[in-house]
Structure 1
Amino acid sequence: MPDYNGRVLAYVGAAAIIFTGLKTHTFAEWLIWLIPGALLWPHTVHVLTRRTFFRHSARIRHKMLLLDCAIGGAFVGTIGLIAMPSLSVMMMLMFSCMLVGGMRQWLFGILWLTIGASVGVALNGIAPSLQAPLPLSVVALLSTGLYICITALYAHQQARALMTAKSQIQYQREQSIALSHKLSKYLSPQVWQSIFTGERDVRLETQRKKLSIFFSDIKGFTQLSEEMEPEALTELLNHYFNEMSQVALKYGGTIDKFVGDSIMIFFGDPTSRGPREDALACVSMAIDMRKHMKIMRQKWRSQGIKTPLEIRMGISAGYTTVGNFGAENRMDYTIIGKEVNLASRLESLADPGEILISYETFSLIKDKIMCRDKGEITVKGFGRPVPIYEVVDFRRDLGTERSFLEHEHAGFAMYLDSDKIRGNERSDILQALEEAADRLRQDDD
């Protein structure tokens, strides 16, 4: 119940108790002035706490309730601690303290009520008889019961309204989460995360940053599109995009867009581990995609797709403009710049299964990845020829200690990455290889 209404109800009950006490000659006649005081005090408190400088005071309702406790205690002491009216006033005050401020407010309320009662008793003494007349006891009980019941009813209604509001908030929250997850499908996870955590504002804004840019497309896709039905082709393309997206996200790449059978990914925004680490992650992703493509080719071949699909990739590192481009009502988070054009050009020049990188990228990753010099090319926007390199493999995977092996022939395909094989799987793989070797030997005999 709002403080004003609750205080009016309590003090009206107190005025009724005083009036009855005067009529039964239980209270001293001079206490009659407390009746208008009790009826006016709630309105005085309302004006003080809402229209004066007190309204800026912290926890003003708690402080005013303690003042009520002191006033109530003084009244109890003044009437000489007569049992029923004293208990009535104390119960209303203690109930209010517990409802408004919990145990802490209740303890402070008892303290101020005790202080007020002590002052009242010191000034007027204890009544000769602590027993109240029947009419006074009845009015005291009715006043207390009415106050507690009405206050409890309001608290119950407030609790129900709060539960309803909580349910609505929870429903809206679940709806917002569901909607945000649906919208996240149209954005790169890094971009979606930065927007919904408040790290990035949705406005037309760009900045210059050093990024690593990746382009890829499928060699032979045009021929395949002429051989397959549109529904089957769509399923194959979606499977390819899904697999490559998982690889990109594993290395922390920001997926910019899918165009036809092409993928554009960049590293370095919205999160970056530094130009060197971003470039290494980008090239590592490309190597992993090339290996992963071999697995998918085997699966597609088992599904009757005979066209040998391979991807070609181009990577460039350098400063680009990244951010939100477009209009206020339709934006696209992407990158522009000559390094983007260079990466696209490298992808178009690459042979099937080849990864071509720019000199800037090569200089950042050459200590961990073996590359082969491919000469120079002329690219629009660059004043001089651009040196390019072909990615061979990780240096750790070259030589006799390499973890990756592959071999393909008509009727045979093998892909082995020993670093990813768990110990309990090795015996099954060895048995399968031995059975395959025995079968080949029998065919030779």
Structure 2
Amino acid sequence: MMNAPAELRNATGSAAKVVHGDLSSHETVAIPPMPDYSGRILGYGVNTAIIITGVLQGIFPGWMLWLVAGTMLWPHAAHLISRRTFLRRSPRIRQKMLFLDCVIGGGFIGMIGLVAIPAVSTVLMLMFSCLIVGGTRQWLVGTLLMGAATAVSVASFGVAESFQSPLLTSLVSVFATGTYICVTAYYSHQQARALLLAKTQIQNQREQSIALSHKLSKYLSPQVWQSIFTGERDVRLETQRKKLAIFFSDIKGFTELSEEMEPEALTELLNHYFNEMSEVALKYGGTIDKFVGDSIMVFFGDPTSRGQREDAFACVSMAIEMRKHMKIMRQKWRSQGIKTPLQIRMGISTGYTTVGNFGAENRMDYTIIGKEVNLASRLESLADSGEILISYETFSLVKDRIMCRDKGEITVKGFAKPVPIYEVVDFRRDMGPHRSFMEHEHSGFAMYMDSEKITERERKAILAALEDAADRLRIEEDSE
């Protein structure tokens, strides 16, 4: 009289693959859900057994044997209706068919005159199916429909002389109902287990995908990687024109150093340098384009931009911090036996470039091209050790916060007129007696201090060290 809770099939779509034993095992076996067709045959078979037993024991009228034909034919008819007609397109055909089963079940309860055990058995099977298939809403609507059908049926056929049923009828009703509930519960358990294991497998695949994406992100700038994996950007050959701030840098004296050092030591030094400079670039939001030899190319303004002025200021701020950080690294390298004084030189320009994916459909490179890129590279090659050269466009965007020095004009291929260039001195806030960064370097002495980064605890330790150094120098001076 009811649809089986095998409706859970709708949650998985098809037969589920369940892993037996250990979840890490690769051996799987198909656990098919209990079909609607089979579930309905089982449910109506239970009622067939109840009808036959009740008629044989005289508790039900003999004409009810004709219902056996209906209970045997209805599952096939329901299958035809739900699978072979236009109703199959209904998104909730299973729930609707179960409502119809509730109406039929209510009519059956009225026909048997509300005899207690068979009636309760039918109610239990229907309510069990409703709860599993559609939850409390299905259960509530199914109960109302069954109650209404029962009332109509009782009004038509009347109530039985006794609500009690013979022992055999009661036993058959209880046993048949228990069999139905156990079978459907077994399939429900299998479906729940299959769903849990499928969820575990999906979670494992998700974790593997995340791990793989993080590995792939090492080959892309974080901003580009994030825009791709969040769906903001399509991976296809396309470019656009944008105004960007472009940065180039290299190590002056690196060629001489490569002739002095072993390849392994040189590689370690270069990777350390790139790692430190990359952290500075990412700190200011730069998109790292590429590493070429000892050179670094970074641009600001794509995929994300904070506006032309802020992009240019972030680019110059990054260059200033790189220059400061280079002095700290140079002191560390000197302590490791590298005597060649490595110096960084940098060039920055701002202007419209073509940015996007270049290459082939199966191998792309996210980069920029244009005359402003050539200008930044030219400025970097013209810069002296520790010098930051910027174009006029960059200067006009940062001059209110960055102190610059006029360096004249240069002629660059692609530019019709000479290009004015400027040297970056420092942040205006760090000029004068209140500057946060101080440096002194002599033979046997080196000091680099950025007061903005020093904590209260570190400040006391630094003061103690400076006082000890000062006392030592005074003692040596007095002894002379």
TM-score normalised by the shorter chain: which range applies? over 0.9
- Aligned pair partner of 1:307 in 340, 343, 346: 340
Matched, 1:224 2:257: yes
Query: For the residues of structure 2 that align with 1:26 and 1:341, how far apart are their CA atoms?
Result: 100
Q: Which amino acid aligns with 2:188?
A: A
* Post-superposition offset of 1:406: 0.9
* Post-superposition offset of 1:410: 1.0
* Post-superposition offset of 1:224: 0.9
Question: 96-105 or 255-264, which moves further after superposition?
Answer: 96-105
Match of residue 391 from structure 2: 358
Question: 96-105 or 50-59, which moves further after superposition?
Answer: 50-59
Query: For the residues of structure 1 that align with 2:401 and 2:84, how far apart are their CA atoms?
Result: 74
- Aligned pair partner of 2:382 in 349, 367, 373: 349
Q: Which amino acid aligns with 1:298?
A: Q
Within 5 Å, give how 1:134-173 maps onto structure 2. Answer: 134-173=167-206
Q: Which runs of 5+ in 1 are unaligned?
A: none
Query: For the residues of structure 1 that align with 2:78 and 2:231, how far apart are their CA atoms?
Result: 43
- Aligned pair partner of 2:318 in 276, 281, 285: 285
Within 5 Å, give how 1:17-28 maps onto structure 2. Answer: 17-28=50-61
Match of residue 327 from structure 1: 360
SS at match of 2:161: coil
SS at match of 1:27: coil
Match of residue 179 from structure 1: 212
Within 5 Å, give how 1:406-417 maps onto structure 2. Answer: 406-417=439-450
Matched, 1:35 2:65: no
Match of residue 400 from structure 2: 367
SS at match of 2:354: strand
Match of residue 30 from structure 2: none
Match of residue 100 from structure 1: 133
Query: For the residues of structure 2 that align with 1:371 and 1:190, how far apart are their CA atoms?
Result: 30
Match of residue 298 from structure 1: 331
Within 5 Å, give how 1:206-285 maps onto structure 2. Answer: 206-285=239-318
- Aligned pair partner of 2:409 in 376, 401, 404: 376
Query: For the residues of structure 2 that align with 1:113 and 1:299, how far apart are their CA atoms?
Result: 85
Match of residue 82 from structure 2: 49
Query: For the residues of structure 1 that align with 2:382 and 2:66, how far apart are their CA atoms?
Result: 102
SS at match of 1:25: coil
Match of residue 198 from structure 1: 231
TM-score of the two chains, using structure 2 as the length reference: 0.90
Match of residue 340 from structure 1: 373
Match of residue 432 from structure 2: 399
* Post-superposition offset of 1:134: 2.7
Query: For the residues of structure 2 that align with 1:302 and 1:326, how far apart are their CA atoms?
Result: 44
Q: Which amino acid aligns with 2:144?
A: L
Query: For the residues of structure 2 that align with 1:420 and 1:323, how far apart are their CA atoms?
Result: 37
* Post-superposition offset of 1:104: 2.8
* Post-superposition offset of 1:15: 1.7
* Post-superposition offset of 1:56: 3.2
SS at match of 1:416: strand
Q: Which amino acid aligns with 1:54?
A: L
Q: Which amino acid aligns with 1:238?
A: N
Query: For the residues of structure 2 that align with 1:292 and 1:47, how far apart are their CA atoms?
Result: 78
Query: For the residues of structure 2 that align with 1:12 and 1:303, how far apart are their CA atoms?
Result: 87
SS at match of 2:285: coil
Matched, 1:71 2:104: yes
* Post-superposition offset of 1:154: 1.1
Query: For the residues of structure 1 that align with 2:116 and 2:429, how far apart are their CA atoms?
Result: 92
SS at match of 1:69: helix
* Post-superposition offset of 1:208: 0.8
Q: Which amino acid aligns with 2:78?
A: V
Query: For the residues of structure 1 that align with 2:189 and 2:245, how far apart are their CA atoms?
Result: 61
TM-score of the two chains, using structure 1 as the length reference: 0.97
Query: For the residues of structure 2 that align with 1:428 and 1:49, how far apart are their CA atoms?
Result: 82
* Post-superposition offset of 1:133: 2.0
Query: For the residues of structure 2 that align with 1:50 and 1:201, how far apart are their CA atoms?
Result: 41
Match of residue 436 from structure 1: 469
Query: For the residues of structure 2 that align with 1:288 and 1:251, how far apart are their CA atoms?
Result: 10
Identity within the alignment, % = 76
Q: Which amino acid aligns with 2:313?
A: L
Q: Which amino acid aligns with 2:408?
A: G
SS at match of 2:53: helix
Match of residue 132 from structure 1: 165
- Write the deviation string for residues 302-335 of structure 1: whole angstroms up to 9, x where unpaired: 1111111110000011111111111111111111
- Write the deviation string for residues 63-107 of structure 1: whole angstroms up to 9, x where unpaired: 222221122112111211111211111111111112112233223
- Write the deviation string for residues 98-121 of structure 1: whole angstroms up to 9, x where unpaired: 211223322322222222211121
* Post-superposition offset of 1:140: 1.4
* Post-superposition offset of 1:191: 0.6
* Post-superposition offset of 1:380: 0.7
Q: Which runs of 5+ in 2 are unaligned?
A: 1-5, 7-34
Query: For the residues of structure 2 that align with 1:65 and 1:244, how far apart are their CA atoms?
Result: 67
Match of residue 89 from structure 1: 122
* Post-superposition offset of 1:284: 0.5
Question: 61-70 or 361-370, which moves further after superposition?
Answer: 61-70
* Post-superposition offset of 1:59: 2.6
Match of residue 23 from structure 2: none
Query: For the residues of structure 1 that align with 2:134 and 2:364, how far apart are their CA atoms?
Result: 50
User: How many pairs align?
Assistant: 445
